[in-house]
Chain A
Amino acid sequence: MIEVVKQGLETSVQDWPGRLGYWNQGFPPSGPMDSWSFRLANVLVGNEPGAAGLECQYVGPTLKFRRGGVIAVTGADMQPKLDGTAIPMWESVAVTHGQTLELSFAKTGARGYIAVAGAVATEPWLGSRSTFHKAGVGGMDGHALQAGQVVPVGEGNGAVGRKIKDGAKPIIPADRRWSIEVVAGPNDDWIDAAGHRRFLNSDWKLSSKSDRTGFRLDGPDWTFTAKATNKAPEHGSEPSNIIDQGYPCGAINLAGQTPIILLNDGPSMGGFINPYTVPWGAFWKLGQSKPGDIFRFKTVSVEEAQALAHELREICSERSVVT
């Protein structure tokens, strides 16, 4: 049982792969944005990689343990302290009844993750404990954590002192520049050759108007093929308007001239084109980005993108734990 002393900026219960099966009613998957760090935290405490844990955004929470157990903190460096003493990240740590874990703000990266042996045991909602805060779905009473709440935790057996191998952790670039994999499509044929070149050869700055719903990008203009300009009027008047279509999670959605990467809490459909899609294996980079960071996009094939996710599955397992 974990008492929320300070809730941090926005801390929520998430599980992986999140809430699946309800896209046709508009429910997004939610879940952790950096599922690499999230899953490794679970592996460290002996949980299934996708078990429910906490995602801490930008400013971490202060939590008091009402029961002893084993925890692990991964992701962005929020300088975790147990009863005022620094504890290592990427390592399973014992906590006893009455101890307080304090996470500060993320010095690098944006999102920290806390796993507890036994996993967070809130009531699942449409098959998942993930929180979709804006719609009041999942998590603690449908929302991010609030001070005073007590987060239920299941029974678990974690071993202390388990560490993640060097080379198995995600690396957050110090220069705040990211190379992000993208797969062309579904609507790549709406952008002309010059537009594709411009997209792939420019710096895109992550705007501050960004959150788990979507990441807005600042950069050059897009230019279009005839498909975008010679179309039935019911598509809409902008070149980037299309008859409403389902949106892949991770789509780079072009609203007018503004690309918005649709994320874990994003909309399931709408009337703008998606010339590129960020594959799930690259989401962790988005999860650790913060406004002002620079993205450069590079295309990969569907198969290469699938290999990224597959590789992460392999990494987020016992094989990454030091023996």
Chain B
Amino acid sequence: MIYDKPRFLPGGDRYLLVEFGDEMNLELNFMGQSLAQAVADNGIGGVIETAPCFASMLVHYEPEEISFRDLETELMGLVGALGPAEDIELDSRLFYFPAVYCDPWTKGAVDDYRAKIADKEPDPEFVARLNGLKDVDQFVRVHSGTEYWVASLGFWPGLPFMMALDPRCRLTAPKYNPPRTWTPKGTVGMGGASTCIYPVATPGGYQIFGRTPVPIWDTEKRFPQFETSICLFRPGDRVKFVPCDLDLYQHVEAQVADGSYQYNVVEYQKFSVRNYQAWVDELDAGARF
């Protein structure tokens, strides 16, 4: 459900959570990102930072400079001025990422979990079955068949949470319980309805089924994309996974190692919510690749 009016909830003494709704709906994320942009553009005194998420936006404020109530009032004003979601347009980069699906490294991590923590159905088969897909091949076609929208970053610095833009490629998957204690760097995984890429080897709970050799985190700033930050992504970026074989993976990995890798990123597009929704309306959302 998309709320008529957003809810403004306190988080301790210096955080405010704006909730736009309680469902996984890209429109809510567009609103969150748009509001974050409006806050940045309008400069509310006392706001330290904002962090948009799937259906919400967290605000970190300095109570010595603005009270919770005053902040709520300012935010309500900005929300009102935003207008309908259809009018939203956001700059949006598009990255093409080669990825090996059903790769040996994630299989190794899953096998390790099954041996040491709990048995489970291997992740690609599990996700394919849960989503009513014919087989793992179809899962790969469906998962890789869409651009993913970077809705937010977190859990670990630089870790993107992405939502499938093409409704025909929407999948869901439960999370591990208990979580894994490690995940290979560059793993592509899914939890709930979001897809993520693990920037480094961290613990994790997403179902895992692929790996990309392209760095999304670089403390040494070896590539121009990291000039202003060590993490590649910003909310509003898009990613298209391009299934590749192990040979191409290793080729790209070698290029990354010697610094010759060229990021394949498209940087002239603006994402139009109106155009996107018109396209979605024309699709047979239930069809699968």
Contacts and interface: CB of A to CB of B under 8 A. Distances in A.
B13 A306 contact: yes
B11 A186 contact: yes
Interface string A258-291: 0000000001111100100111110000000000
Contacts of B156: 26, 135, 267
Prevailing SS type, chain B contact patch: loop
B53 A244 contact: yes
B49 A269 contact: no
Contact of B155 (A184, A187, A234, A267): A267
Interface string B160-177: 010000000000101101
Nearest to A269: B154
Interface in A1-60: 20-28
A98 interface: no
A244 B49 CA distance: 18
A153 interface: no
Nearest to B60: A23
A281 B64 CA distance: 13
B6 to A, nearest CB: 13
Given A24-B50, A24-B235, A26-B157, A250 B174 contact: no
Contacts of B49: 20-24
A297 interface: no
- Chain B interface bracket (under 10, 10 to 19, 20 to 34, 35 or more): 35 or more
Contacts, number: 179
Interface string A290-318: 00000000000011011011100100000
A231 interface: yes
Contacts of B10: 183-186, 277, 302
Given A20-B49, A142-B219, A271 B191 contact: yes
Contacts of A309: 13-14, 63
B197 to A, nearest CB: 12
A237 interface: yes
Contacts of B48: 20-21
B11, B52, B174, B230 pick with most chain A CB within 10 angstroms: B11
Interface in A125-147: 132, 135-137, 142
Interface in A210-234: 231-234
Contact of A251 (B12, B54, B155, B194): B12
B22 A25 contact: no
Contacts of B57: 246
A236 interface: yes
B192 A243 contact: yes
B175 A246 contact: no
Contacts of B54: 243-245
Contacts of B182: none
A244 B11 contact: no
A233 B58 contact: no
A310 B64 contact: yes
B155 A268 contact: yes
Nearest to A255: B179
Given A26-B159, A234-B24, A280 B14 contact: yes
B158 interface: yes
A66 interface: no
Contacts of B19: 186, 245
Contact of A234 (B154, B159, B192): B192
A247 interface: yes
24 contacts: A20-B48, A21-B48, A25-B158, A28-B157, A183-B10, A183-B12, A185-B11, A234-B172, A234-B193, A243-B24, A244-B192, A244-B194, A245-B19, A245-B54, A246-B56, A247-B58, A248-B58, A250-B11, A302-B68, A303-B68, A305-B12, A305-B13, A306-B13, A306-B14
Given A20-B60, A246-B58, 4 more contacts: A25-B153, A26-B156, A232-B23, A271-B192
**3 pairs of A and B residues whose beta carbons are closest in the complex:** A246-B58, A248-B11, A269-B154
